[in-house]
Structures are given as C-alpha cells and as structure tokens.
A and B are shown apart, each in its own frame.
Chain A
Amino acid sequence: MGAKSKKSNADAVYSKKSVKSSNPFDTAIAQTAKRLNPFDVHVNKEKFKILGRICKHDRGLPGVSRAKALQKRSETLGRQYAVKHKTNKFVDHRIGKHLSGDQLTESVMNARFLSEKLAQVRASNKAEKFNLNDDELLTHRGQTLEEIEQYRDERSDDEDIDDEGLNAEFTSTAHFGGDGDTPQDRQTAIEEMISEQKRRKNEIAKDKDEVHDLTEKLDANYKELLPLVAKATKDEQHEKPPPDAYDKLLKEMIFEPRGSVTDKLIDPEELAKQEAARLDKLENERLRRMKADGEEQEANVQIPHRSADDLDDGYFAAGNEDDGDDILAYDLDGNLGTHLNSKREAGDATGQSDEKDNESEEDGENDDDDEEETEDSDSEVDNLSDLKESDSESDQGEAPQPKNKTKPQKQKTSETVDTSIPYTIKMPKTYEDFTELLAKYTPTQQVTIVERIIKCNHPKLEGVNRENVVKLYAFLLQYIKDMFEDASEQDIRLHFQLVAQLMPHLYDLTHLNPDRMSNTLLDVIKEKYAEYRKNHKVYPTLDTLIYFKLVSNLYSTSDFRHPLATPTYIFMQHILSRARVRTRQDIAMGLFIITIALEFGSRSKRLLPAVFNFLLGIVHMAIPKRQVDQIEIVPPFERDGPFSKLLAIPATSESKTLESQQLQAADLVTHTITLDFKVRALDITLRLVKQIFEEQIGEHTGACFLASPFLPLMELLPLKLYPKHVQQHFAEAKSTLECVAAKKMKPLAPPDKKPKALRLLEPRFEVVYDDKRRPKMSKQKEERAKLLHKIKREKKGAIREIRRDTAFVQDLKLKQQLQSDKERHEKVKRIYQEASVQQGELNELARAKKRKKF
C-alpha cells in the first residue's frame, strides 16, 4: 500500500514538473480519501541494494499493526480476563443463538416459538392435565385474534378516509380572506361551515352504507351461484368430445420435438462433397498402410537439393520447393545459363515416364498423394469403363440370350417373392436349422432371408444379437463351404450367383463386428491351410478359393501387412508353387487364384512370384513338344511327359473358328480338357500377362527379369492354329513384354544421406559464487540445521508475544485498579459530603436551640 501511494505521489510530482496542468485541482486529493499519515509510516533504510533480493520489510506501519494486535488481544485475552475467577456465566440456549438481525428467518422464529411452547407445556404439565380446551388464546393488543377477525371489515379499509380536518377550499377562503365578498359576519360563517361539514359527513356515511349493502348482496348472490359454476365446469370436462384427427395432429405438432437448428437439411451437393471427403480420407489412410513403416523410397530417387545449413526444421526457401525452377549454373561445356528442368524433361522422350515417377515420389508424400489419388481415381474410372465395355462385348459375343432371360426372371421373382417370406425371422440355433430354413426357398429368396435375419438381429436392437450375428456369419461361411465343396457342373453357376448376391450382406455383417467376424474367417482359412498342408501337391477344394475371393472383396488387401490378407497371400503362393497341375480343374483353379492375387495387388502393385511361374507354365503346356524335346520349366510343371503338353492343340481347323470367351464356371469342376478350354486358357493367360505387365508391375525396376522368360516360350507357340482373337491378344502381350523386357535401368545407388549438422557447443555456465561461508554439510544435517534455526526464530517470536500478552494483562489490571480506586474515592467523598451535610444540619439545630435558649 505504501509503495503504491509512493508511486502515485511520484507520478504526481513528475506530472507537476513536466506538464503544467491548466487545472490546479487536477492533482488534488479528495479530502475524504483515505490517506496514510506520513508520520505513521516507518521506513527501514537499506544500506545496499541487492539485485534479485525481495525485501519485505522496507517499510511498516507500526501504529496500525499495534492497534491490530491490541484489538486481537482484547478480543481474546481481554475476554478471558474478564471472566477470570467467575464461577458461572450467562449462557444463551436459544435456537439460532449465533444468528443476528437479518439472519433470523421465519423458520428460526417458528422453531423458537415451538420450543418455548413445549417448555411451557412441560412445566405446567401437572396443572394442565385435566384442562380439556387446552388451546391457549392468542392475543393481539389485548384482543383475542378471533375477535379481531370477527370485526374486521376489510373492505372499509381503503375508503376509511375520515379527514377530520378542514378542506383546502375552505381554509383558503377562511384564513386568507378570499375575494373579499364576505357579507356575513364571522359568527354566521362558522355556523354555516359546521352545518356544511355535518351534511357532507352524512352523505359519505350514506354512500358507504349503500356500497356495503350492494356488496353484501353481491356476495350472497355469488355464494348462490358458486355451486352452479363448479358443476358446469365439471360437466364440461365430462362432456369433452373424443379428440378427432385434427386435434391429434395439433397435439402432435405441439409436442413434437422441434428439429435443432444445426441439423439443417444437407443438399445433395454437400452430401456428395462430404462423401468424397470421407472416401479421400479413407484412401489416404489406405495408402499409408500400403506403404507401411515408411517403406523404402525408390532406390534412384533424387532428393531435392539441400543446403548444408538446412536445419531440418521443415522450412524451405521459397524457390527450393519448385522443381521446375530455373537454376543458374554452368553446364558441361562451361557455358553459363539457366537450365530449364521442365524443358529438358519434355525433350527426354525415353526417360519421360520414369522421370515423372521419380518426380512424383520426390515431392514427398502428402502433397503428391492427393494428385496421385486423383490420377488413380481417373485411371480407375477408365478401367471401369473398359471393364464394362469388355463385359458387354463378351456378352454380345458369346451368348446374349441367356443373360437377358435370367435378368427379368430375377426381377420378377424378387417382386413376387417378398410376400411369401416372413418379415421377422429368428436366428436359427444350429447350422442344421439354418440350412433347413434356407432349403425351403429359392436362391434369391435365400438372400432376402439372410438380409432379414441380419435386420432382425441387428446388434443395436439387443445385446444378445452380437453373438447371433457372429453365428450367422459362421453359418454363412459354412454354407458357402457346403455349396462349393462338391459342386457339380450344373449348379456351380447358381452357387456363384447366390454368393454374389450374399456379398453385400457379408460385407455388412463384417462391418458389424470386424474383429470377431475376421477372426472367424481367419480360423476358417487356417483350417483350410492345415488341410491343404497335409498334401500340398493337390489343389484345395473350390470353397477355399471362394474364401480368398471373400477376403479380396471385404478387406483392404493393399495393406503392407494385413492379418488376413497376408496369410491368404502366403496360402495362394504356396498353392501356386506346389500343387500339381494335371486336370482342367487344376488349371482353372490356378488361373482363378491368379486373378484373385492380382486383385489383392491391384492397388499396392505387389507381386507374387508364383503367379509368373504359373503363367509361364501354362504357356509351356500349350507348346506342342516332341518326345525328345525338353524345354526348361520350373515345378509344379513338368518338363516332359504327357502333363507337359496338356494344353497343346492338334493341328486341325476347328480351333480356328472358336469364339472369344471368358473362362467358365464349369471349368472349375470338370476334369476333362476340351479343345475350347485349351484355347480359352491360353487366351486368358495372354490377356493376364498383358494386364500384369501393363498395369501392375510394368513400372517397377527389374520387371524385365520377370518379363524376359516369357518371350522365348511364346515364340514357340503354334500361333497359326489359334483363332484370331488369340493371335491379337498374343501380339498385344508380346509387345508389352518386349517393351518391359527392353527397359533399361539405372544402377542402384543409396539415397543421398542428409548432410550432418554442425556440432553445436552448449555454453558452459559456472555455478554462481555467493560469498557465504558456511560449513559444508550433508543434506540431512543441513536440513536439521535449517529446522533448528527455524525453531530458534519461532521461540523468539513466541517469547516476545508472551511478553506483550503479560504487558497487556498488566495494563488491564492497572486500569481496573485505577477504576476501583476512583470509585472508592468518590464513595468516600460522598460519605464525607453526606456526613458534613448531616453535621451542618445538626449544627444548625444546635444553634437554633441555643438561640431559643438565648
């Protein structure tokens, strides 16, 4: 406080000095402001100013603090002293004895009253024992409350203005003379006035009586009316008509929760945008997983130039970021000039694609991913359109009729069927029940049933359903197994259709509880693998392949490492590299696995070596060989013998007329190899080869090592025997392969290492020397010394306090002594006074007697 005031003072001084204010009262301090008397302030003078030391005791207010201490003592010690040697004291036992004034609320008062009453009752219990009307009469101003209530006339309260005094008009005329036309004398005037006053009073009384009468009347009438009114309202309630539709609607509208403002309707554009953003996010996440633990940058990636002074703080000089920037530099010939990177690239025809790749990978992950993303999606869209076209083409090519037929049929059935299936279906307990349930219906109905089971057993409806859904998933897997394990040529297509329709539901199911469902599927795959492992030279049953496809459809297979996709990959690799290829079924299954494997790697562009080996093997099998010929090929394919030329076609003309065809579902279940299958298989192989090298691995460095073995083998194919479309595919595949195989590569070099930062030396601070020489002590001892010091100081303080206490008490004693002395002195004086008066009277009497005598 002192400091503050000082500062304000200083300010004032400063302002006085610098700015001569025009107003002389500007700096004046109000008379009433609480100010410190400068004589009250005690200042402890500081000899040296020490930096960093906070001084608490530079000034003090001895007067104030002394007064405070005194007050505190009188409140504590003084009280104690006052009741010293007292044997009893007055104790307040009332309820709420600590409350005062405003704090005394109604409830406290009531409680007090009650307790008081109880005490009274208790005291007079015996006397009042036989008192029947025990209720005490409460009084107010001597009257009982009942009486007061009886005579109370509330309505007269406000009107009771008996102004006994004279009215203003009269007084003004009477006292101040008025106009002067007062012919009558004073006597008559007064009389008149009195009579007037009386008349007025009478009138008022009369009015009052009238009003009273009328109100009485009204009251009586009202009392008569009252039952009628009550009845009427009740009747009305009874008679209330049943609410009609309008009322209902109204009520509903009233009570309907109103939509909150934030949930405004989203227009489709916004929705699409949100969806796109969501997909974008998911895609980015997928890419991150695909790369996995900061997977390698490409070996030949050039890191943009980095200065040795680069601090790695993520800050880039503005120009540095842009690669297409022009750099001022000497070229090989020693000419100074700007090199336009972009131009050079444009000129470089062969390395163009490579450069681009490098660039895109150079630019770092985040920025470029988006671009790539868009590119990807573009290309994907393209692919899709391609796909559709090819589909439609092939449809037209092979057999447009059956497809067209089946579609409308399907629609029809789905329309008619829905009514025949119950809407709520309980979850079957066992697998037998499940199959029984499904057996009753056609495939499309089965799908509806599954859908409805899912809906009825949605985990959000009930907790138990969580188990049910998992069970249903397991049942479905089992069902798939049963369907495909021993499928025949006739029903395989139906089974595939059913699985295709089940696919979205399986997807939904997996999303309900990803962990449990995935573990179920993983267990199934594990089981299948264990089965396959027993004899790894034989292809597994068809259902295994369907599970692979399921994995491909439901999971993000592009991940670098995926708990389900990776084991499946290994499984597929194992099958492709070990299982013997002897029948049409084997070949078809191998091709099926290859297509699934390609799906797995379609985004991540990963490769499975066995895929190439298998494709090579099929090309190898299609080459007709003489007995002695041996063309090198890796197992599971055979170098010679009948199995080495399974797909070789005889030199007849009928093969030339075959139509282009996709692989058929029946291929997966039949064993005999027909001519059309031979052509078909080779055709698909060629197309696959083209797709793999074009879309998937063509751009990887070293892809030529995979492509080159195909070329010599393909040269040996008897191309003339095959129909035109095969020849066309052959040409396409060959050109792609040649392109990939001829690719040149840059020798591997390790990525440039980051320039090592200069070693920075930490400044060395010395311990601050404070000139205090204390003995060095151990920590414990130091602590103890500190404590002892503290004790000493506290002790001192305590002694001082005690001393002051005694002084205070002595002071009190002295005051008391003086007080009592004074009283006694006065008493003595009075006694003397009285005695002297008495004596004087006596003397007077005596003197009078003497006088009489004399």
Chain B
Amino acid sequence: MKQPLAKKSAHIEDVDVSAKRTNVPAELQQKANAFLNSSNVDTKVLREIVYLLEEPECNAIGVMHVLEVIFKNLLKRKCISAAEKQQEKTKSKGKANQSNAKCQTLYNKAWSFLLVDWGSASKEESSVALKVCMQLILSESKYIYSNAWPRNALRSVLETLVNSETTPPTAVAAFQKYARCLDVLQMTYELLPELAPNIFADSPNMALNYLAIINLLDLGKTVLNAKEYHIGPGTDKQPNFEYNQTRKHLNAVWKGIIASCSGVDEKVHRQVLVVLLERILPHLQDPILLTDFLMDSLHQFDGPIALLALQGIFTLMQQQNITYPDVYQKLYNMFYPRMFYNKYKARLFYLADIFLTSTHLPENLVAAFVKRLARLALKSPTEDAIIMIRFICNLLLRHTGLQRLICATGAASAVEISDPYDETELDPVKAGALKSSLWEMSLLQKHAVPEVANAARFVSKSLPVVEFDLSALLEMKECDIFDDEVKKEVNHFTLGYERPTNFALPQNDIVTKYWDII
C-alpha cells in the first residue's frame, strides 16, 4: 500500500500505469489525463466518468481505477473537503467553492456506486471496489483529517459488507489484507457492535456475513507483532493501537452476538462456534461465562457443533479449571462412521490426541478408544485409516499396558475367542475392550492401498520407538495419497503374463461373471 504514496507526484503517469494494469480503454485514459492536467476542475467531465460506473456494459474495473487516481489527486488538491469544513469554506471563498461543492457531491456519489458494486457477483470487481475504497479512505485521512480516521467511510464499508446478499461476501477475501492492519482492526471492533444484526435467527445471511468479518479480525500474537498499519501509527488525534481498548470492544461484540444468538439454525451456530474458538475465546474477559453456551451446544447437537463445543470446553478445562464429568464418554461417542464425512474431522483427531495424552487415564478407557478407532479404520476412507492407525500406534506407545492388545500371553493366544469388545456400548469403560485383541490391524494389513497396509504392519513387527507426528497427517487428503503414489519413482511396470482374448481376464474374471456386456 505504499506504492500509491510514492506515485502521487506524477499523477499522469499514474493513470497510465494503472491503465496498463487493468486495460482501461484509451479514450477514458485520455479523458482522465486531460481532466487532471487542466488547472480548473471540470465537473462535467468528472460527472461523466463517475456515471460510467452505473452503465452495466462498461469496463467497471478500469473505471474504478481511473476514479481512484482522479479522486486521490482531487483530495490532494483539496478540491474536496469534509462536510464540516465545507461551511467555512463557502464563506471565505466565492466562486471556486461551487465547483468544490460539485466535486464533493460527485465524490459521495462515487462512493455510493462503489459500495453498490460490491454486491456484484464478480469476485474481481468487488475486490477492486473494496481496494479503491480503502485507498480513498487512506488519502482522505491524509489530506483532510490530517491522519485521523474517517470513521464514517469505514462504517459504510463495513455496513455494506454485512448487508451483502451473497454469503460470505465476495469482498471479504480482499478485506482480509486490511484486517491485518492494527488501526483497521481497532476501528472495526469499535464499529462492529453498532452494526450487529438484531436477531440472528431472522437474518441468517447478515449474521453469517457479520461472523465472517469477525473471523478475519485476528488479535493473535503474529498480527500484533507484525505491526502493520493502514494509515500509519497513531498521532495525538488518533491514539495508537491499544490492546486493552480493542479487547473491550471485542467483548462488547461477543455480548452482542450471544444476546442475539438464540434459536439460530445449525449453520450459523457452527459459524458462531468457529468464530468463538478461533478469534474471541482467547481474548474474552470472563470465559467461564461461556460454559452454559458450550454445554448447551454439546448436548443439544451432535456432529460438528458438538465437536466445536467440545473444543471450547477443552479450552475452558485447560484455562479455567472447570470440570466436566463424562467428557471422555462424549468424545468416545463422537467417533462413528459418519464423522469422516464431517467438515471438522481433523479437529476431532487433534482433540482426541490431546485428550488422550495423559498417561494416567484408565487402561480400559483408552483400550475402548483404540478398539473403536481400529473398527472405524476398516470403514473409513484411506487417509483417515492411516491417521487412525498411526494414532492407535501412538496410544499403544503411551499406554504400555495396552500392548496386551497385540501381545497376548502364550496361554491366551492359544484359545480362539470371538471379539469380546462391544461396539454398541456407549460407555467406553464398559465396552470390554481390554480383553479383546487388535484383529482389525491384521485385517488392515490386507488393505489394497500399500500405505495403509504398511502402517498396520506394526502389529506383527515391532512398535516404533518414537510416536508419530499426527499433525502432518491431519491435513492429508485422499488426492494427496494418489499424488504421492503417482509421484513415486517408477521403476517397472509389471505386466500381466496372460494374454486376454476378449474383455474378460483369462483367469478369475469377475466382471463378465456379473455383467452381460459383450
């Protein structure tokens, strides 16, 4: 964002450069140049350019860029001034003011057009519009408010974001860049409580937009340490970024959310939880107050919401020392076949890994987890199977007593039994997993995907010495396994040695046994 600052001096080249960047039609470019070169402000031309935006078939992006340059220059020349100062100016100066006033109205008009543009479907267009707006805010504060923040401008920007019809608003991606600047961060938090939609349940779209914006506002350490500013570090008028101040605003925002968040549908609820966990929870003043909310979410829903709530509760347990009696049972019951198709399964594995870190857990509890994971690995997609096998391996390493699941004593291994583990039992302690054995692993050794088969081999070989790092696996997708397999250094394509004479295999054909196709 420093580029425009550098470019200010030579505005004509500026037009050219931006024109080149965005394929502005040549006439428009010339027009803009002529307009900027003339000493007097020709409001007619300006008006023409501004209203170009309204026409549907014009090159909106190009026009926006041109407008950006023009208005920046006008602001620099002080042709446009803020509304309050206008009064004084009309008194002191005579004729020049008229054109100024016109400029002012046109400027406002352009703003409104730009804001409308965000709503447009095209992603590029809306992001450019947002960018132009932010640039204008920058120059406005620089030349008019002497480095103070134009609150209203930002407010209008945010308002448009929240009211946007598409969810999430297309411009949000562009806004992310600005959300890293501390001053924007602070201002936004300051403004957000006013903008919150009243009842989330009534307007889920707005609620989602609102939450999407909050999701961008990261008060994490990396952002705070980076110390980026959009306009510049504070002056006497605009105090520097203050964490405490922002935190207070953040709390207000959360209060607003929690007040209006009753009876919302699942999607919004999930988003609320995500925002809470990712952005708000670490900065909340009284996180203990969340317990009710999280408990409700945990008990009333299952699937992703429960999972997110569980994560929240876990944080509370860690930081606030709350106790939750049957958290393990809850976690245990979250492992069921459908969960592989949930959005937050990586989070579940992550959580389970943390929950089961303690070596003081009762063995039969962990054994139940191990058995359940093993059963699920038989039904899950490939990547999850790998994660779960590795996880089981880690659990066996942590809880050495569990190794009896794969190393039965001599006497026990002689007797054949059917699996004593009860899959349907809800309480992990009562599932009887400890008397079982990990036959699933020996079946998984026959998995068609060699990665899985290799991973499951620990049963018959020996356990690794060090635990696997699961975090690398959590992000893995099915496609990655395919890509890895394809990327492998291919040495030899072994061919079949029996020549097929038709569609069927010479031996063991199955397709033609069940299909009447030839």
Q: A496 and B460: CB pair below 8 A?
A: no
- A697 / chain B contacts, CB cutoff of 8 Å: 443, 446
Is A435 on the interface with B (CB-CB < 8 A)? no
Q: In whole angstroms, how far apart are the Cα atoms of A51 and B492 in the complex?
A: 61
Q: Are B501 and A503 in contact (CB under 8 A)?
A: yes
Q: Which residues of A have CB within 8 Å of B380?
A: 609
Nearest residue, chain B, Cβ from A511: B495
Majority secondary structure of chain A interface residues (helix, strand, loop or mixed): helix
Known: A687-B514, A702-B439. A503 touches B418 (CB 8 A): no
Query: B443 touches which one: A387, A493, A705 (CB < 8 A)?
Result: A705
Residue A298 CB within 8 A of the other chain: yes
- A458 in contact (CB, < 8 A): no
Specify which of A511, A610, A684, A705 is in contact with B514 (CB 8 Å cutoff): A684
Report chain A residues within 8 Å CB of B448: 566, 569, 573, 597, 600-601, 606-608
| Bound CA span A597–B449, Å | 12
Contacts of A570 in B (CB 8 A): 382, 449, 478, 481-482, 485
Residues of B within 8 A of A297 (CB): 460
B96 adjacent to chain A (CB < 8 Å): no
CB-based contact B503/A706 at 8 Å: no
Question: Is B289 located at the chain interface by the 8 A CB criterion?
Answer: no
In the assembly, what is the distance between CA of A169 and CA of B349, in Å? 138
Chain A positions within 8 Å of B440 at CB level? 702, 705
- Contact across chains for A634 and B496 when beta carbons are under 8 A apart: no
| Inter-subunit contact B518/A691 (CB<8 Å) | no
Question: When chains A and B are docked, how far (Å) is the Cα of A390 from the Cα of B514?
Answer: 10
Are A706 and B443 in touch, CB under 8 angstroms? yes
B494 proximity list for chain A (CB < 8 A): 286, 289, 555-556, 559, 562
A380 and B447 within 8 A (CB)? no
CB distance from A4 to the nearest CB of B (A): 63
Of A390, A529, A564, A567, the contact of B513 (CB 8 Å cutoff): A390
Query: CB distance A493 to B460 under 8 Å?
Result: no
A663 to B341, CA, bound (A): 30
Which of A286, A522, A573, A743 has the most B CB atoms < 10 Å from its CB? A573
Identify which of B382, B493, B496, B500 contacts A515 (C-beta below 8 A). B493
- Of residues 576 through 609 on chain A, the ones whose CB sits less than 8 Å from some CB of chain B are 577-578, 591-592, 595-603, 605-609
CA distance in complex: A750, B457 (Å): 11
> Contact at A700–B514, with CB atoms within 8 Å?
no
* A109 contacts B by Cβ under 8 Å: no
B71 to chain A, nearest CB (A): 41
Residues on B with C-beta less than 8 A from A434 are: none
CB within 8 A of B445: which of A296, A387, A390, A661? A296
- CB within 8 A of B407: which of A601, A610, A749? A749
A561 adjacent to chain B (CB < 8 Å): yes
Give the interface centre of A554, A567, A702 by most chain B CB atoms within 10 Å. Answer: A702
Query: Given A299, A394, A549, A634, which contacts B460 in the complex, CB threshold below 8 Å?
Result: A299
Choice from B381, B459, B496, B501 contacting A554 with Cβ under 8 Å? B496
In the complex, A838 has a CB within 8 A of chain B: no
Could you mark each residue 196-219 of chain A with 1 if its beta carbon is under 8 Å from any beta carbon of chain B, else 0? 000000000000000000000000
Whether A745 and B416, one on each chain, are in contact in the complex, defined by CB atoms closer than 8 angstroms, is yes
Asked if A662 and B449 make an inter-chain contact with CB atoms under 8 angstroms apart, the answer reads: no
> How many angstroms from the CA of A484 to the CA of B352 in the assembled complex?
46
Interface residues of A in 313-368 (CB under 8 A from B): 351
Residues on A with beta carbons closer than 8 Å to the beta carbon of B412: 747, 749
- Output the nearest chain A residue to B336 by Cβ-Cβ distance: A632
Distance of A522 Cα from B412 Cα, bound (Å): 48
**Could you tell me the distance in whole angstroms from the C-beta of A20 to the nearest C-beta in chain B?**
80
Interchain CB contact under 8 A, B443 and A279: no
- Whether a CB of chain B sits under 8 angstroms from the CB of A748 is yes
Query: A561-B450, A661-B516 are known contacts. Are A504 and B419 too (CB-CB below 8 A)?
Result: no
Tell me if B486 counts as interface (CB < 8 A to partner A): yes
- The interface residues of chain B, by DSSP majority, are classed as loop
* Residues of chain B within 8 A of A574, CB atoms compared: 381-382, 478-479, 482
CB pair A662–B516 under 8 Å, yes or no, is yes
In the complex, B225 has a CB within 8 A of chain A: no
Could you tell me if A384 and B507 are in contact, using CB atoms closer than 8 angstroms?
yes
Residue from A560, A662, A748 with most neighbouring chain B CB atoms (10 Å): A748
A514 at the interface (CB under 8 A from B): yes
Q: Are B503 and A613 in contact (CB under 8 A)?
A: no
Name the interface residues of A741-783: CB closer than 8 Å to any CB of B. 742-751
Q: Are B501 and A504 in contact, CB atoms less than 8 angstroms apart?
A: yes
Instruction: Please report which residues of chain B, range 483-518, place their CB below 8 angstroms from some CB of chain A when the two chains form the complex.
Output: 485-486, 488, 490-497, 499-505, 507-518
Verify A745–B500 contact, CB threshold 8 A: no
Q: Which of B442, B492, B500, B502 contacts A299 (CB 8 A)?
A: B442
Q: Assess whether A573 is in contact with B379, with CB atoms less than 8 Å apart.
A: no
For residue A684, which residues in chain B have a CB less than 8 angstroms away from its CB? 514
With beta carbons under 8 angstroms apart, the residue of B375, B460, B461, B508 that contacts A380 is: B508
CB neighbours (8 Å) of A296 from chain B are 442, 445, 457, 459-461
Is A665 an interface residue, CB under 8 A from the partner?
A: yes
Which residues of A in the span 709-767 have a Cβ within 8 Å of any Cβ on B?
742-751
Which of A300, A553, A661, A742 has a CB less than 8 Å from the CB of B496?
A553
Contact call A493/B517, Cβ cutoff below 8 A: yes
Complex contact A701–B442 (CB within 8 A): yes
Question: Which of B381, B460, B491, B492 is close to A573, meaning CB atoms less than 8 Å apart?
Answer: B381
Residues on A with C-beta less than 8 A from B94 are none
Q: Which of A492, A691, A746, A751 has the most CB of B within 10 A?
A: A746
In the complex, residue of chain B having the shortest beta-carbon distance to the beta carbon of A753: B462
Q: Give the residue of B385, B414, B515 whose beta carbon is less than 8 angstroms from that of A609.
A: B385
Residues of B within 8 A of A591 (CB): 514
**In the complex, chain B residues whose CB is within 8 Å of the CB of A613:** 379
Query: 12 A-B contacts, Cβ less than 8 Å apart?
Result: A496-B503, A504-B499, A518-B493, A556-B495, A566-B485, A567-B482, A573-B382, A577-B381, A578-B478, A744-B417, A746-B417, A747-B415
- Extra contacts, 4 of them, besides A549-B511, A553-B503, A744-B417 (Cβ < 8 A), are A390-B513, A552-B511, A567-B482, A703-B443
